[in-house]
Structure 1
């Protein structure tokens, strides 16, 4: 079979080798200035690539689209990242005693435990409980404890079965040379921006009127000590990440905007299909939630948003799937995790990780960062004099208020308990047992003084106003003391300072009440959904899904073309000025100025009598539209993918291209209109 376009689909079909396609791709990327080898003048540097000018434009437009897709449309708070003064994460490693190959000690032990638990029929209950307990405590084990378990279980190197060394911890982060305070030990480049956002949770919770959900996002560079950064843009020391932390109440994991993605249909690869060697299933997200394939609605919402984002970029939806991670692949505190995998010439590449972690996740991270993440959700309940029982508002706020009138003669204090049936208390404790604990506080508020103007008028006549003003100006202590005297003796001596006299206030002249409030705070640790997008991997897949080869007009060679959507194309429009037609240069300047005013990026090409070579150069850059200035009256607009052209006036050219790029118009509509 003749390869007609050299696309990654032909690699998957078996008519082109992956090496041939990757060689073609890297050549096209270098010609178009998308990426270049880093420090290529130094021979001892491994094959590490970085973006060139065109690649940087692609990255910035992808991040701009991500920012609109998630930050603006979802009203997510964007926060910056900072340099932590301590290494936020260390990992235990072991070494093959003979080959020197390094392995993660905790991963080896975790894999061993899961393999044993999968053969539960051959395990006794005591041994199964031991493995489960070990998995729960895996990330808290010391070097000695890890080494003891590896030795006791006889765990060896996976590849060679050789003996492993004693475990030791290494810093997963890249350290910087800054040593000034407060970085006496040198700050570290953040491997994941999410790590410091848990420390911001309390502040964000308060800014959000003490309610959930709360979502924050961050975009930036991350750094990790990769052992083998040799797969181009897929594995690197430095990479761009876009992450979200969506905190929710563990009682309520619904999402108000789920209807917008409920009908999204995509390939999903649950654990059961993977375990029994079956294929991914195509399913609507609404059904995936109702059937229990996806843990909760908010998690499914982010799966749908990730699908829409990736397909909007130009990822082929038929080569995109969401695979559910096995328990052995997830962190111990996660209960469900889906990873967006994109099929390319080298196989399936993990690009987006969407994990759901219950309240244990926040608890574990809080211990590490020495910051309490217990957010107090105040529950208020109100009891009126003529009503009894509890009024639950939104299942969250419970308030109880009682007023003690002068007639009962009771002075309230902070230690007094409000009467409530045991049945009601049991009912509340049961309802909230799994979602937090109650902290109860009883407080006596400021006393309320209500003078009886009629009785005071009879007693003091013309001085009534002075006495009333003095009563209302009493301090809390004076009011409580008068309340005691009125309750015990029926009258109280009162100094009217503005009058300079001491008068007798009787119990029918003033009413003093004290409002006592019992507040219950529901203390819980929020659950979190964490979508994490590796921008470099997504862009690499975009390159593969967009590249194809087509014959040149001469037919003697192939031209590489990147089929980028206009939203992410590095250059949105090409302007071709004919070298031999100088009178048209003024029209070209007018068009370029109009494109700039419309916010359309362009590149100017000077063409000869024919424009075939310049067309090929623009197609190699993935420019979706081109304006050919060959007249002072009207010009041609060319579509990259079809090669068709339409004639429009000079004044309309920029607005037509702007409408095509923004998606307000389609090429077929333009062809029918002009």
Structure 2
């Protein structure tokens, strides 16, 4: 039986006490030897010391054995992962790219079943979001001019901290080295005290917050070295993750392979807004490739250099973030991990999303709506809801402009993995691109009737700014016009009192002194027919490769063969995402059986059901095992009863239960199609058609 954490902690405390006693006895022996006392007294003290050391060794072995009795979770995870990856690569779900030339870390090819799974996941995503939410889908280039990514902040800030092996020059991500050290110590070091375990868990929970100096200090404190050579590593320093390129033959125009798909949506906002009839809210979506020059990619599909993103930008009035369909999902309950529980190191709890929004845990209805819809989407892929949680970003994880951020995280053999980010990004993105491009990226709300309002008016006197600030005059003028009302009123008070006031321009880092005669700031009454504003954006961003890998883990299991001498791999994919929905087998090599099987395959194809016909003549058991390993949910077996003019039916087998029913040949394609598309459940089929005994080979 596995030892409890309380039992393990008691053993650790006993061991610490015994070690302290042993060390004291060792000091006594050294003291006696220094005093040159009688040999017998020294021998007696040494005998006690040896006895204490033996007791310490015995207690250490007991503790190691107890820790090992946890079921070998760490080794079990590695064994499971190896079985899974062997199946995925052997059956060509995905394989390392360019392998005959040695491969390139972080680049993978999808084989036939992997392509089918990916296409099915994307089709389901498009149905679940683009179609059901009436989103506007666009497709933008992968190569992005530098000016776009300069405005978005990627050129300056899209970095990870890197360290180098001081002897070999090998590069590593600093936070990954620290994370691996903490996880390995927590999993494998039986001598860790409760205090040390708490300390390491604290480091893991705040890992994303650590700057270069803090990461370097922890690496030195724990004496972390390069994993391959055990050499010391350098201090951490930032490394930009974007692939840089040039546009055009002259090479003068700098570009980057896009690190995300969102910027293409933001720069097209005004066109999309017009296409939508100048109405808010609306959402735009994009599916496409993104690129990140990862420092040390690992963990298969979880961290790669080229990957598929599916991103949504939901544009909304910043003063009204309600959602008309929120009531449809308000009663859904799933694991939420708010920042309060994280900081207290408590566990996530199942929470009704309606309560989370009403209590202010989730910032607004629209963000809550997309969290709930993401829960439904991931669940429909076969993700275990007990190993799916939504974790709120801690305050120092969030961008300064964000109102609220959550990550959908899935537990797999690598731990909790972020697969979807859901953020209320306020109006930052549109404002940034509007400022950089001088294009109007605002929306307009027309009032039911005109109204008189008091507005602040800022008028820079350009004739005076020019001589005073020369080349910076235009920048100063724009900064004055861009001031928020509170900032402008504060400047007016300062000008009235002192005759001058400072103006800090954050984009340049410069501060200018503005004199009273250089700008007029006043309030005036105006008649307005509406208001113009920059929309806020709610952004769900989906890492498709990560989602697919977690789906592989959650859907993979093994079961013994009929003989019991081997374990057979099975993927329990939901039919809607399975790479092949149905296989068709003639019971044995026979021309008439083959003809019926081919006819059924044609019927399935015409019904839109991806199928595979297998007329190899190998045993039914082996053919079932082959298709189970591909995650095929249904198999049709054509036997001699299928040739009976009075019957003309075949056996339909379900993958996981291995239950079988007889269905008329003319109905079978429609039944498989309806189950695959979610219009019919297997339990409905079982209640309608006669059961048959499973094959002796199944």
TM bucket (normalised to shorter chain) is 0.5 to 0.7
1:636 deviates by 0.5
Q: Aligned runs of 1:400-415 on 2, under 5 Å?
A: none
Give 1:622's match in structure 2, choosing from 612, 616, 631: 631
Over 3 Å counting, the alpha-carbon distance change for 1:165 and 1:159 in structure 2 is closer
2:109 maps to 1:75: no
Larger CA deviation: 549-558 vs 600-609:
600-609
Matched residue, 2:615: 606
Cα distance in structure 2, aligned partners of 1:616 and 1:11: 32
2:219 to 148, 155, 159: 159
Query: Alpha carbons of 1:624 and 1:568: their partners in 2 closer, same or farther (altered >3 Å)?
Result: same
SS at structure 2 position matched to 1:192 = coil
Partner of 2:323: 255
Matching residue within 262, 273, 283 for 1:194: 262
**Quick check: 2:106–2:305 contact (8 Å CA) kept in 1?**
no
1:205: which partner in 2?
A: 273
Unaligned runs of 5+ in 1: 3-9, 109-148, 383-389, 393-431, 438-516
Structure 1 CA distance for aligned equivalents of residues 649 and 85 of structure 2: 39
Q: Is the 8 A contact 1:199 1:371 kept in 2?
A: no
Unaligned 5+ runs, structure 2: 3-68, 179-210, 222-231, 454-483, 490-525, 690-698
SS at match of 2:95: strand
> Is residue 90–residue 172 contact of structure 1 (8 Å, CA) maintained in 2?
no
Report the CA distance shift for 1:223/1:578 in structure 2 as closer, same or farther (over 3 A). same
Say if 2:318 and 2:426, in contact at 8 Å, map to a contact too: yes
Q: Is the 8 A contact 2:583 2:614 kept in 1?
A: yes
Could you tell me whether the CA contact under 8 Å between 1:333 and 1:361 is conserved in 2? no
Of 79, 87, 92, 1:20 maps to: 79
Maintained 8 Å contact 2:242/2:291: yes
Supply the distance in 2 between the matched residues of 1:671 and 1:536 (Cα, whole angstroms): 35
Question: For 1:351 and 1:192, how far apart are their aligned partners in 2?
Answer: 14
Displacement, 1:644? 1.1
Aligned partners of 1:377 and 1:653: how far apart in 2?
Answer: 55
Matched with 1:490 is: none
- CA, structure 1 residues 569+662, in 2 after alignment: closer, same or farther (shift >3 Å)? same
* Structure 1 equivalent of residue 144 of structure 2: 84
Residue 109 of structure 2 aligns to a residue whose secondary structure is: strand
CA distance in 2, matches of 1:590, 1:98: 63
Residue 535 (structure 2) aligns with: 526
By how many angstroms is 1:91 displaced? Answer: 3.7
CA–CA distance in structure 2, aligned partners of residues 269 and 12 of structure 1: 27
1:491-514 deviation per Cα after TM superposition (whole angstroms, max 9, x unaligned)? xxxxxxxxxxxxxxxxxxxxxxxx
1:313, 1:542 within 8 Å by CA — same for their partners in 2? yes
What's the counterpart of residue 241 of structure 2? 172
Count of matched residue pairs? 495
> In the alignment, is the contact (CA less than 8 A) between 2:216 and 2:236 conserved in 1?
no
What do residues 502-556 of structure 1 show as CA deviations (whole Å, max 9, x unaligned)? xxxxxxxxxxxxxxx9544423221110100000100000000000000111211
- Tell me if structure 2 keeps the 8 A contact 1:12–1:345: no
1:43-54 equivalences in 2 (<5 Å): 43=102, 45-46=104-105, 48-54=107-113
User: What is the DSSP-based 3-state SS (H/G/I as helix, E as strand, rest coil) of the residue aligned with 1:523?
Assistant: strand
Structure 1 residues 672 and 377: CA distance shift in structure 2, 3 A: closer
> Which residue is equivalent to 2:464?
none
Aligned to 2:51: none
The equivalent position to 1:283 in structure 2, one of 351, 354, 370, is 351
Which of 62, 66, 83 is equivalent to 2:121? 62
Task: Judge conservation of contact 2:297–2:304 (CA < 8 Å) in 1.
Answer: yes
What SS does the corresponding residue of 1:251 show, helix, strand or coil? coil
Match of 1:650 in 2: 665
Query: Could you tell me how far 1:608 is from its partner in structure 2?
Result: 3.0
Question: For 1:251 and 1:311, how far apart are their aligned partners in 2?
Answer: 32
| Equivalent residue, structure 2, for 1:226 | 294
| Cα pair distance change 1:369/1:227, threshold 3 Å | farther
Larger Rg: 1
| Alpha carbons of structure 1 residues 634 and 376: separation in structure 2 relative to 1, 3 Å | closer
Aligned residue for 1:546?
555
Tell me: CA distance 1:621–1:336, structure 2 relative to 1, closer, same or farther (3 Å).
Answer: same
Answer whether contact 2:258 2:290 (CA < 8 A) is retained: yes
> Alignment partner of 1:606: what SS?
coil
Q: Which deviations, in whole Å up to 9, do the C-alpha atoms of 1:531-582 show, x marking residues without a partner? A: 0000010000000000000011121111000000000000010011234321
Matched with 1:311 is 379
Please give the alpha-carbon distance, in whole angstroms, between the structure 1 residues aligned to 2:410 and 2:339: 18
User: What residue in structure 2 maps to residue 535 of structure 1?
Assistant: 544
Tell me: CA distance 1:98–1:580, structure 2 relative to 1, closer, same or farther (3 Å).
Answer: closer
Shift of 1:246: 0.4
Provide the residue aligned with 2:90 in structure 1: 31
1:318 shift after superposition: 0.7
User: What does the per-residue CA deviation read over 1:8-41, in whole Å, with 9 as the maximum and x for residues that have no partner?
Assistant: xx99983852211111011111222111111222
Name the structure with the higher helix share. Answer: 2
SS at structure 2 position matched to 1:273: helix
Cα gap change, 1:69/1:555 in structure 2, threshold over 3 Å: closer, same or farther? same
Mapping for residues 412-427 of structure 1, pairs under 5 Å:
none
**TM-score, L = length of structure 1:** 0.68
2:655 equivalent in structure 1: 640
Taking a change above 3 Å as real, the CA distance of residues 154 and 12 of structure 1, as seen in their structure-2 partners, is: closer
The Cα of 1:189 is off from its aligned counterpart by 1.5
Change (3 A) 1:521 1:433: farther
Q: Distance in 2 between matches of 1:331 and 1:12?
A: 41
Match of residue 301, structure 1, among 363, 369, 384: 369
8 Å contact 2:409–2:418 — kept in the other structure?
yes
Q: Structure 1 residues 378 and 164, CA, compared in 2 at 3 Å: closer, same or farther? A: farther
In the alignment, which of 334, 337, 344 is matched to residue 269 of structure 1?
337
* Partner residue, 2:598: 589
Q: Aligned-pair distance for 1:664?
A: 2.1
- The separation in 1 between residues aligned to 2:593 and 2:129, in whole angstroms, is 44
Q: Which residue in the other structure is 2:688 paired with?
A: 673
Report the counterpart of residue 375 of structure 1 in structure 2. 443
> Which secondary structure does the structure 2 equivalent of 1:615 belong to?
helix
Q: 1:520 to 1:102 in 2, by over 3 A?
A: farther
Please say if residues 594 and 615 of structure 2, whose CA atoms lie closer than 8 Å, have aligned partners that are also in contact: no
Mapped partners of 2:534, 2:338: distance in 1? 28
How far apart, in 2, do the equivalents of 1:558 and 1:154 lie? 47
- C-alpha distance in 2 between matches for 1:615 and 1:668: 21
Determine which structure has greater relative contact order: mean sequence separation of CA pairs < 8 Å that are 6+ residues apart, divided by chain length. 1
